[in-house]
Structure 1
Amino acid sequence: MAKVIIGGNEETYEEGTRLVDIAAKHQSEYKDDIVLAKYKGSLTELSKAVTGVADLQFLTTADKDGRRAYRRSVVFLLQRALMDVYPLPANPYLRVEHSLGQGDFCTLEGVGEITEEDLQELKKVMLDLVEKDLPLKKYSIKTTQAKEMFHSFNMKDKEQLLKYRTSSNINVYDLDGCIDYFYGYMVPSTKYLKYFDLIKFENGFMLMYPDGSLPGIDTRVVAEFKKPMKLFCVQQAASDFGQIMGVPTVGALNEVIAKGKIRDLVLSQEAIFERNIGELAANIAANKDIKFVMMAGPSSSGKTTFSHKLSAQLRALGCVPHPLPLDDFYLNRDQMPIDEYGEKDFEAIEGLDIPYFNECMVKLLNGERVLLPNFNFKIGKREYNDHYMQLGKNDILVIEGIHGLNDRMSSSLPAESKYKIYLSALTQLSIDEHNPLSTADGRLIRRIVRDARTRATSAEETIAMWDSVRRGEEKNIFPFQEKADYIFNTALIYEMAVLKLYVDPMLYAIEPNHPMYAEAKRLIKLLDYFLPMAPDVIPNNSLVREFIGGSCIL
């Protein structure tokens, strides 16, 4: 007999009982659908059988790992449905391009433009497959065999990715004759995949999922698609850039590194990055009404380096930029609002002295001389240290903070005096045609490296606080990104290959019994797809230097 301990209670089952059957007994205790488990300290698919004695914890679609498994599995369901809607000899080539809101933007190659009617038929077939409760079977095959198989399927990205895999075996999934390889865990069968939608959008379509980014959201309701056109255009430009550079996927980047051509790629990417900042600065400098450049972006977007680079470009055009962090307008610590957990909420806009900020900015706009505050984080209070400012004809304030794009923050300032910039690291790479690289994962890896170097923070500490950081972004930053006048992409096509050298040792140092081990293991697996590259080819003014060190501008 096997024993599992769930929430401190011990239950006994026959050896070989699957976790999916145990989960069925406990589903009524959960508001959201159980899709994964943590068994014997590791993330585990529900198809696993129990043995011995071990702790068992169920994960639902309200958990981030559960959401990842659900979304991957819906993509696989879509692939299988395409086989019925476009039977051989038609062979549509599905590309999951990138995430957008609570969905993935997808395109189909080889079948012409997809119509609303096509999508309705495709959705019906997907729902029919859900009703059939088909298993997602996993089995291990030789990596060489997998490469040959994906070559025969014309899955070129997967074939190239596996060229640089050192493991002799890999796991593949089979859904009723549709075979593929996925980065991460899957649900047991199609009956779990009831909640999705297909929406025609631009030259492709959106595969929409339920939300789950914030507590209390119904994970059985598909999220609304709000058509964030500015963000979409930047993401498409990033994808196009990857194609132009010949590096749209991780496998293609590995090819460049293996052939010793990484220096040319780095220098080209850096040159384009500088050109884009220069063009942005020229647009700002040409408009003499602009006095306030308001910047915001999620964690580890490279805001510090970007603001220095933008300021340098503005100075070259005759402007006089002055950095101003919104953090200097924090309320004193004893006045901070309290969040739902009873903790001081340093990310809420109510934690800033909005009336005082507007008063200071209006005075500056009117040409008055103003004493500006500095916030002392050690004592938790604002101080006044002879920081006077008066705006001249060519002066521009470069204001950075998480609420920079929120109109509440600068409601007293005329619209024509403000220029809003949203920053984010929107990676140009995909793992392969069906697995886009998560921009959030890229930012987390950036932050682990930077925090270890500049704040003596361990990888496990950074990972532990990441969920809280992400909730703050969902609430305070992402809803305002479309209000930006300009969205600037700070991702660099090669960065994961160099960050790997720094972050791998820190992730491997996390012990198996640590609560953050499962996430560390997931990131290690992600980075294992990348060949490493040495940092010596990276210029000392690169944005990547903000994270790995050696920057000449910070």
Structure 2
Amino acid sequence: MKEIEIFCKNTNAFHSYPMGTSLLEISHDLNIKLEHRVCGAIVNNKVRELSFCVVKPKQVEFIDVTHMDGTRLYIRSLIFVMYAAVKEVFPHVNFRVQNGISNGYFCELQGLEREINESDLFAIRQEMEAIIAADLPFVKRGIVTTEAVDQLMKQGLEEKAQLFEQQGQLYTQLYFLKDLANYFYGHLLPSTGYISGFGVVKYYDGILLQIPHRKHFERLRKVFYNEKLYDIFQEQKDWAEIINVSTVGNLNDHTLAGKGGDVIKISEALHEKKIAEIANMISSRNGDVKVVLVAGPSASGKTTFSKRLGVQLAVNGLRPHQISLDDYFVDREHTPRDENGEYDFEALEAVDIPFFNQQLIELFEGKEVRLPLFDFHLGRRAENGKKLQLGRGDILIVEGIHGMNPGLLTQVKEKNTFKIFISALTQISMDEHTHISTADNRLIRRLIRDSKYRGYPAAATIKRWPSVRKGEERNIFPYQENADVMFNSATLYELAVLKKYAEPILKTVLENQCEYTESSRLLEFLSYFKQINDDEIPPTSLLREFLGGSSFAY
């Protein structure tokens, strides 16, 4: 039999195997030892499951659950197990994964028609543990698409079936766990026995599926009760269901029917209504609010939101003045460094807190101050910032990632502030069991913005993204519940619009670049959306901050 040569990054050596040898067989033969059990591999910089058979020369790197793509394999497989368990315990209930929250996944049992109780959770947990203990294989089968659609419809997975039909492919692939079929738009673990830890706890009126910490897989991630975040997710979910655009399949149906423009108009009208409501809340505080703090993670649309809020405050008779917290950075030589010795611009200590508070107090006292203007090229504050003096009806809008951090305003009274947390909380799901990550939504926005306005190649943005996310987890998300109000900057239609801009950018990442793994995943994800043209997106839209064509000056 013909021999195929592979280069294994784990052993840093070439090895030869008979054509058709599986990655699982190769990992056993090479006795690959990682921190945890080998669960998948990166083959020519694309994720593959261990059942993948090598028929051409390849570069292979075996991964475990501590790798981001290994974690994804684990989560998809765990959700399949939970679906199978719920199907066994409650045969007539529809199991749904709604969104990621509190370091886990919020799930609902639709059709249960009563409150979930501890005995329900115990039964589901026990059934999941039995499925895992049985070490049942996840079997991947290629079948005719019409048969796959029939199978999914029989199981009540109509949203998955709808998306399969829209792809127009003759053959497709399904995963089977015994007799149950499913699909998760990505690979799975070899079998249920690879799952080592999970939690199932009551979370508000649903269930939180807990997953292990990626870097400390022996323990589960801590549960937080994010009431404001939960409420905004539920509000957006209900609204998406009312206008029948709660899944990618629904959105595609509107697009194919020529109604994409209607979805744009409704989404933009909702944004305008919400921003006006926030402006009314601020105005109703009897003039107490002196400074509005707008904070959120990368690519959440903070800048355009702040400008649109300023317009609505002006409608209410106030005179808003925009200030960027970035202009209050300490000089470069005083910037703290992270554990890798790199400048940590996202640490609170990177901001000159005493100087920022001093200027706010002087402004509140009616004094004229010269605002700083940070020169990012020179790494220090310039002396040519504009002068500002506040009078009656003037209000500050301060945009920056640390707006919710209680350590920011050390000398300003609480009654004089109004805090707004903004993020792109994606409202639609792929289907019943696959939510769309808000981080993926923001990464796609950032890829487009970095390419268009900063000249950064896609590979550079993807490479930096884990560091950005780490900074958000440390400096932004722990304080989000301090907000007076949360604003969701995502729109129902945006991924169908961003698709046209993101795909050519992602395709610039070459196979020999390690960022190809992520670019390939995002391209696969975007392939399920039918494209919507951006002609009807208004110039004041938050999305224009990334696409271009905004009527605001940045």
Q: TM-score, normalised by structure 2?
A: 0.95
Q: Residue 85 of structure 1: which of 82, 85, 89 is its match?
A: 89
Instruction: Give SS of 1:236's match.
Output: helix
Give the Cα separation in 2 of the matches to 1:121 and 1:371: 64
Q: Residue 227 of structure 2: which of 226, 229, 235 is its match?
A: 229
Q: Residue 251 of structure 1: which of 245, 249, 252 is its match?
A: 249
Contact 2:495 2:529 in 1 (8 A): yes
1:524–1:359 Cα change, 3 Å:
same
Give the Cα separation in 1 of the matches to 2:16 and 2:249: 46
Matches for 1:125-204 after TM superposition, within 5 Å? 125-204=127-206
Give the Cα separation in 1 of the matches to 2:418 and 2:144: 55
Give the Cα separation in 2 of the matches to 1:3 and 1:123: 44
Output the amino acid matched with 2:148: A
Measure how far apart 1:176 and its partner are: 1.7
Contact 2:226 2:481 in 1 (8 A): yes
Instruction: Give SS of 1:408's match.
Output: coil
Name whichever of 418-427 and 165-174 sits farther off.
165-174
Contact 1:371 1:389 in 2 (8 A): yes
Give the Cα separation in 2 of the matches to 1:447 and 1:145: 39
Measure how far apart 1:349 and its partner are: 1.2
| Number of the residue aligned with 1:546 | 545
Contact 2:46 2:520 in 1 (8 A): no
Measure how far apart 1:63 and its partner are: 1.9
Contact 2:326 2:374 in 1 (8 A): yes
Give the Cα separation in 1 of the matches to 2:407 and 2:398: 15
| Number of the residue aligned with 1:474 | 473
Output the amino acid matched with 2:256: A
Give the Cα separation in 2 of the matches to 1:12 and 1:266: 54
Name whichever of 327-336 and 9-18 sits farther off.
9-18
| Number of the residue aligned with 1:387 | 386
Give the Cα separation in 2 of the matches to 1:509 and 1:36: 26
| Number of the residue aligned with 2:62 | 58
Give the Cα separation in 2 of the matches to 1:131 and 1:21: 22
Give the Cα separation in 2 of the matches to 1:283 and 1:23: 60
Give the Cα separation in 2 of the matches to 1:73 and 1:390: 58
1:24–1:281 Cα change, 3 Å:
farther
Give the Cα separation in 2 of the matches to 1:481 and 1:28: 42
Contact 1:102 1:210 in 2 (8 A): no
Contact 1:358 1:412 in 2 (8 A): yes
| Number of the residue aligned with 2:51 | 47
Matches for 1:411-450 after TM superposition, within 5 Å? 411-450=410-449
Q: Deviations over 1:77-110 (max 9, x none)?
A: 0111123323xxx321111011102111111122
| Number of the residue aligned with 1:403 | 402
Pair 1:283-2:286 in alignment: no
Q: Deviations over 1:354-411 (max 9, x none)?
A: 1221222222223333232111112111122253222222111111111111111112
Measure how far apart 1:18 and its partner are: 3.2
Matches for 1:487-506 after TM superposition, within 5 Å? 487-506=486-505
Contact 2:300 2:423 in 1 (8 A): yes
Measure how far apart 1:274 and its partner are: 0.4
Give the Cα separation in 2 of the matches to 1:54 and 1:160: 35
Give the Cα separation in 1 of the matches to 2:385 and 2:334: 24
| Number of the residue aligned with 1:331 | 330
| Number of the residue aligned with 1:6 | 9
Output the amino acid matched with 1:95: R
Instruction: Give SS of 2:166's match.
Output: coil
Instruction: Give SS of 1:522's match.
Output: helix
| Number of the residue aligned with 2:209 | 207
Give the Cα separation in 1 of the matches to 2:433 and 2:338: 38
Contact 2:151 2:181 in 1 (8 A): no
Q: Deviations over 1:318-372 (max 9, x none)?
A: 1111111111111111111111111111111111111221222222223333232
Output the amino acid matched with 2:372: P
Q: Which runs of 5+ in 2 are unaligned?
A: none
Q: CA RMSD in A?
A: 1.8
Contact 1:27 1:33 in 2 (8 A): no
Give the Cα separation in 2 of the matches to 1:360 and 1:24: 64
Contact 1:79 1:178 in 2 (8 A): no
Measure how far apart 1:16 and its partner are: 4.5
Instruction: Give SS of 1:43's match.
Output: strand
| Number of the residue aligned with 1:358 | 357
1:378–1:41 Cα change, 3 Å:
closer
Instruction: Give SS of 1:198's match.
Output: strand
Give the Cα separation in 1 of the matches to 2:126 and 2:31: 27
Contact 1:127 1:194 in 2 (8 A): no
Output the amino acid matched with 2:79: V
Identity %: 39
Matches for 1:500-519 after TM superposition, within 5 Å? 500-519=499-518
Give the Cα separation in 1 of the matches to 2:22 and 2:154: 34
Instruction: Give SS of 1:123's match.
Output: helix
| Number of the residue aligned with 1:521 | 520
Give the Cα separation in 2 of the matches to 1:26 and 1:103: 34
Measure how far apart 1:480 and its partner are: 0.9
Name whichever of 188-197 and 44-53 sits farther off.
44-53
Count residues with an aligned counterpart. Answer: 547
| Number of the residue aligned with 1:347 | 346
Give the Cα separation in 1 of the matches to 2:413 and 2:28: 58
Instruction: Give SS of 1:409's match.
Output: coil
Contact 1:3 1:51 in 2 (8 A): no
Give the Cα separation in 1 of the matches to 2:55 and 2:549: 51
Instruction: Give SS of 2:407's match.
Output: helix
Give the Cα separation in 2 of the matches to 1:51 and 1:502: 35
Q: Deviations over 1:30-64 (max 9, x none)?
A: 32443221123321101223455432212222222
Give the Cα separation in 1 of the matches to 2:264 and 2:85: 40
Contact 1:325 1:400 in 2 (8 A): yes
Output the amino acid matched with 2:247: T
